[in-house]
Structure 1
Amino acid sequence: MRDTTELRAGLADLAEPVTPAEDYERQIMRRAGRIRGRRRLATVAAAAVCLAVLVTMFRVAGFGSTPRLVASPPDGPFLGWSPPGDVDAGLVREATDVWGRTNSAGPHTAVRALVAENNWRLGSKLVVLQGYDKQGAARLAFFTGDSSAADTLLMRADRPAPDPVKTRVISLVSPRLSGAAGTVGNDGWGTYAIAVAMPGVTAVRVSSTAVDQDMVQDPDGPTSRLVVTELPIAATAATTTIAGFIKPKRPFARATKVFEVPGEDGAVGDARAVPAEVLSRTAQQITVAYLKDQAIRPGQLAVVAKGLVGRVKAVDAIRGQATVDLITSIGFAGQAYTNISNVPGSVRGNGEKLIMENIPASGDIYGTNRVIMPDPSQQGNQIGAVTIGRASADKAAGATTVELTPTADLAHLTRLSIMTPSAG
């Protein structure tokens, strides 16, 4: 047997060729780092590819920009809109003849129809025409049938043609659309709102502060650019809002609201809403400017779509300005009653809050009950009555007062309307 010393020496000679060179471990670590870096780069690239695929999928699925209205080219001074349904040529001829005979501005020329149909909701004929009067002025007129006279067609409103570039919807809100000219219906829901929107709109929604629920076409259902709906007799154009929607063509997409504007005007015989702009304010009053030569008088109500703002205190007809007592001011007081339950009382401001008092002790008023105030410009206490506020809490048993929360935002007023009697 060989000596063990000699054997160990031989084994050492064999091991020398595989002895790691100096910094070998460091080289291995650097190489491993390079490999990990390449793997991370590949992972990031793969993630970027996946993200791009997902973005493309979402874009194809329709999660893109919000739908927008595309304006129809004007037809000269007229709205260049196609009718929202079929046009009855016989009704167009009948309405054109009525238009020419109703006032001294006829006969009318270049007449074109926006609506001409027998409307099931209104229960009568409905026609909306554009045309030139004999002085060459562009006009817009609404016609409905008279249910008391074999549905005879009557002109309900005649206005200057609206701006064909800026207008997105035309509307008429009135309780004088179903009977004889200038006559208010006896039905508590006798006000009708008619709205026609521009092409591209798929639904129109009418909301009124005269009622607690929106009169809504389902924006996501089969709808139309034309809406006719019944509202309480208290509803007016000044307290009505018209909104338009577009329903995208992609599956499961929600309709998008593309505009929301106040109702435009009433019919012949209705109180008129004179627009005014707020110039200045104090804690108790605001000063507003209006177009001169309007029939603004002390005692008239100032309103916005959400309800009553105050009452005209003083008028400077030369400057076209009016001072309005806010409903929370110490200068404001008047009669009021609750909506639906018709509990009577009076309202007054105490400088900071709005109080309803002189309520019958047995009368029940609950939190959020709507309280409305008659409009002296209207013919009757219910026609065009304006919401002044809601009960802040339940009236205590046997109590005769309750605090109200105003429905109008009195702190951020910029524009309002002053209700004036009909010129007729």
Structure 2
Amino acid sequence: MAIEEVLTDPAFRADPHPVYAQWRRTGPVRLARLPNGLDAWLVTRYDDARKALADPRLSKAVHAVPGGSVNAAVSHHMLAVDPPDHTRLRRLVSATFTARRIEALRPRIEQITDELLDGMAGREQVDLIDAFAFPLPIQVICELLGIPSDDRDDFRAWSNVLVNGAQFDKERPGALTAMIAYIKALIAQRRETPGDDLLSGLIGVRDQEDRLTEDELSSMVFLLLIAGHETTVNLIGNGAHVLLTDRSRWERLRADPGLLPSAIEEFLRFEGPVETSTFRIATEPLEIGGTTVPAGAVVLVVLLSANRDEQRFPGADDVVLDRSQNPHLAFGHGIHYCLGAPLARLEAQVAFTKLMDRFPDLRPAGADLSWRPGILIRGLSSLPVRL
């Protein structure tokens, strides 16, 4: 089988949807060369994607990926292990990352949002990513973990290097080393002076005699910092882009705020913040969508494509703000379903409610937009708007 080479094409990065639509029609499971040079099988149809995300024969053990091994201090988290380790880790983290703790953040999220909008007021034009979509979730996750918000720019720099494309490979070891050192120092400090924050809770959590090891603890902080803001940055940025590219959507949502919960689900489906799943490894030969994937192969589920599958979503290429049946895969599926999904939804609801209320005449300030490199994250590098 020929290996698809399109993933590094700038035109594909700008708009991958037509290519994915063609693949869903003509060959929904394809071998493709990733930007880092690794070959992987891409799963593009909804039904196949949903099954693959829950298939125990597709292992999440990242150490099995050629060239994919990472420092032990950041590789022992829930996204990188299989049961029974995954079951234990998720249980321990869920004990502190509770619905009550998330809902209790609402007043503070509203306050942070108001402060950011205050900072934008009076300016003719801003970059909505820099001024709003990024600082809101990074400040929330930093406060949730008990991390000084003054360090958020460092996290953004490290995160960009770690999740973006292959052109950042030379910078990746330095960014990873710096982030690990920071996390370990933070854990040591919080162990000495615990507080009422998620990190202190993770340090102290135990289930009978079970608790997080040092590597599991630093890995979990690493995961929460990156996943805890990357998804929401791009949910807010992509959602704003979807609304502003068709004025009728913006006006309809302003006129009927009750549509916001379903609109956010539609943003997640139509232009979700995560393009592909993280690596899975076939532990045996298996058939996906009529194609046999060999043992040892890397498999990536293309969430962005599955969520535009016409077989599952009528009018998949249309934005339907009141779509009632919307079982999208933007937060994954199965045992690895995103633990932070309720927090991302809460932040997005507060963000869009207040943004539309404060700046009802918000307009795009340019059509020449660039999307972030790499195929893991789907998000804009910037979104210039007129206030």
Please indicate, yes or no, whether the TM-score normalized by the shorter chain is above 0.5: no
Q: Answer 1 or 2: which has greater helix percent.
A: 2
Q: Larger relative contact order (C-alpha < 8 A, sep ≥ 6)?
A: 2
Relative to the length of structure 1, the TM-score reads 0.24
Relative to the length of structure 2, the TM-score reads 0.25
